[in-house]
Amino acid sequence: MNDIAGSEGAPRGWRPCLLAGAVFAVCMAGTTLPTPLYGLYQEKFGFSELTVTVVYAVYAFGVIGVLLLAGNASDAVGRRPVLWWGLAFAAASAVCFLCATALGWLYAGRLLSGLSAGLFTGAASAYVLELAPPGASRATFVATAANMGGLGCGPLLAGVLAEYAEWPLYLPFVVHLALVACSAVVLLRLPETVRERRPLTAVRPQKPGLPPRVRAVFGPAAAASFVGFALFGVFTSVSPSFLAHSLDVRNHALSGLIVALAFFASTGGQLAVGRVGVARSLPLGCAALLAGLALLAGALHWDLLSLVVLSALVGGAGQGLSFRGALSAVTRVSAEDQRAAVISTLFVVAYTGISVPVIGVGLLVGPIGLEGAGLVFIACMALLVSTAGVYLLRRPVPETAAEGVR
């Protein structure tokens, strides 16, 4: 282990941080891997658009359940044991999709994927930050980029394999199993960063509320995160169906690429936070999210592929700006022994945004169609993001809440 870390909790250089980020990205890629494949599953099992959104949302409910019940587990037992369990659930999820002979396998696979992401979200984010060199200003970017970059690689990988290789419903999950195995080898060589570990019995479900010093920053940060993840939820659940049925885009690779663009644009938005600062990145992110929603409304109304692409790029950049700013702000004001728990709470809000509105869209597709359901969603999210943006302009997050993000 000497080539990676000098001693437990004291890594040398950026290598351990980047390796942990790569493991994080592999886990998150598995959660979006089925996105361009839902149309194929619909043909195979004959389920409705509502079922697509419910299958998708089961994942988010798994994430939220883990974050609430064990979001602070890695603060007690250590980061690596929690990440081991996360990789195990990711592998089990891939096996479920490989064995899928009925709709129930998809529910099980998505639930296991959610459990994996729930364990990784708080623990891996904190782990990447702690493995970075002392005083490093880019650690938060590595953590959020690994998260969003991994989410973007999932649909891109699955779309390319489904379009240009054999066994479209199987090969993507075989590849992901191999990547999970490689990640397990990498994790073996990384050090533990929690110095005073406690037994598993010390882990308790998270109580409602936040430490007083976090609350003032957390409110606006959480509002921006909710809207950004809600936009991603719609892109990853129903946009492939819209592309196929309204725009006649049936190329799985192109469908996966368009979804991936939103996540990659998010990574670009996160990188911009270091230049514009946290106090400005949150309201600017809200403005970009509002523009992305407007472009999506235009795409739905006029059936234009170019507007779908622009919506993915602009909305994704807005999500990146707002989310990295949010994560930086709450991380800076959190005590070390509460950091993973606070990060997990932020993700609970975010994953509520990625699940509940999506199911709402699925419920509305039957009576008013996909275009009408999308426009209702856009109107609700536009109202929420506008309110959050106005609030942030009137009561901005202080730059000192996240100094070190630059």
CATH number at residue 238: 1.20.1250.20
Span 213-220, average pLDDT: 79
Kindly state whether residue 61 falls inside one of the protein's structural domains.
Answer: yes
Task: Report which residue type is found at 261.
Answer: L
Span 262-274, average pLDDT: 90
Q: Are 70 and 204 in contact (CB under 8 A)?
A: no
- The reported pLDDT for the residue numbered 11 is 42
Kindly state whether residue 338 falls inside one of the protein's structural domains.
Answer: yes
Task: Report which residue type is found at 112.
Answer: L
Handedness of CA 244, 247, 253, 258 (dihedral sign): negative
- The reported pLDDT for the residue numbered 1 is 40
- The reported pLDDT for the residue numbered 178 is 98
- The reported pLDDT for the residue numbered 136 is 66
208: pLDDT confidence band, cut at 50, 70 and 90? low
Kindly state whether residue 229 falls inside one of the protein's structural domains.
Answer: yes
318: pLDDT confidence band, cut at 50, 70 and 90? very high
* Of 47-56, 142-151, 268-277, 334-343, minimum mean pLDDT range: 334-343
Span 17-37, average pLDDT: 96
Does residue 400 register a pLDDT over 60? no
Span 323-341, average pLDDT: 78
Of 372 and 218, more confident? 372
- The reported pLDDT for the residue numbered 187 is 97
Q: For the segment 123-133, what is each residue's pLDDT rounded down to a tens digit?
A: 998 999 999 98
Kindly report the average pLDDT of the chain as a whole number.
87
- The reported pLDDT for the residue numbered 398 is 60
* Of 45-49, 98-102, 222-226, 246-250, minimum mean pLDDT range: 222-226
Instruction: Kindly state the percentage of the chain with pLDDT values over 70.
Output: 92
399: pLDDT confidence band, cut at 50, 70 and 90? low
| Residue 272 belongs to domain spanning | 5-192+211-402
Does residue 190 register a pLDDT over 90? yes
Kindly state whether residue 371 falls inside one of the protein's structural domains.
Answer: yes
Q: Are 244 and 294 in contact (CB under 8 A)?
A: no
Query: Which own/partner pairs from 95-100 qualify as long-range (CB within 8 Å, at least 24 positions apart)?
Result: 95/173, 95/177, 97/33, 97/34, 97/169, 97/173, 98/170, 98/173, 98/174, 100/41, 100/169
Helical spans, DSSP H, in 303-338: 305-332
- The reported pLDDT for the residue numbered 340 is 67
- The reported pLDDT for the residue numbered 10 is 40
Kindly state whether residue 346 falls inside one of the protein's structural domains.
Answer: yes
Span 215-229, average pLDDT: 83
Does residue 12 register a pLDDT over 90? no
Span 366-370, average pLDDT: 90
Does residue 346 register a pLDDT over 70? yes
387: pLDDT confidence band, cut at 50, 70 and 90? confident
Span 205-209, average pLDDT: 64
Number of domains present in the structure of the chain: 1
Q: Residue 123: name the closest of 84, 170, 169 by CA.
A: 84
Does residue 263 register a pLDDT over 50? yes
Does residue 200 register a pLDDT over 80? no
Kindly state whether residue 205 falls inside one of the protein's structural domains.
Answer: no
Kindly state whether residue 197 falls inside one of the protein's structural domains.
Answer: no
pTM, 2 dp: 0.86
Does residue 402 register a pLDDT over 50? no
Kindly state whether residue 198 falls inside one of the protein's structural domains.
Answer: no
> Phi-psi region for residue 209, left (φ > 0), alpha (ψ -120 to 50) or beta?
left
Look at residue 11 and give its three-state secondary structure.
Answer: strand
